[in-house]
Amino acid sequence: MMMTRAEQRFIEHWSEQRSGKKSSYYLTFTAGWTVVSFLVIFFLSRLFTSLWSTGGKYFIFILITLALVIGFLSTHFTYYFNEKKYNKIMNREKKSLN
């Protein structure tokens, strides 16, 4: 079975991503997902709740911590599932060559 164009693009992209250090991948993408998560949580909490007036002065730290956790988990699961997909495609290709 031949690789599709989407699978070929994925293999090229993921090979490049995994060639570097895993820690730098985690730092970069955790930072990115943390910013996105914080902005989403911030604006949704401002829009739909009154927690800003009742949450106290430490509410912002709770949001930052929550955004960091979401950012790390998003990065971890993305890495895990991309690695799983990569190995599945590569194993399928090895079996088809034999």
Taking only the tens place, the pLDDT of each residue in 18-60 is 898 999 999 999 999 999 999 999 888 888 777 667 667 788 8
Identify whether the C-beta of residue 91 lies closer than 8 Å to the C-beta of residue 12: no
In this predicted structure, the answer to whether residue 1 has a pLDDT above a threshold of 70 is: no
pTM, two decimals, is 0.84
Written as six digits, the tokens of 60 are 């912002």
Mean pLDDT of the chain: 90
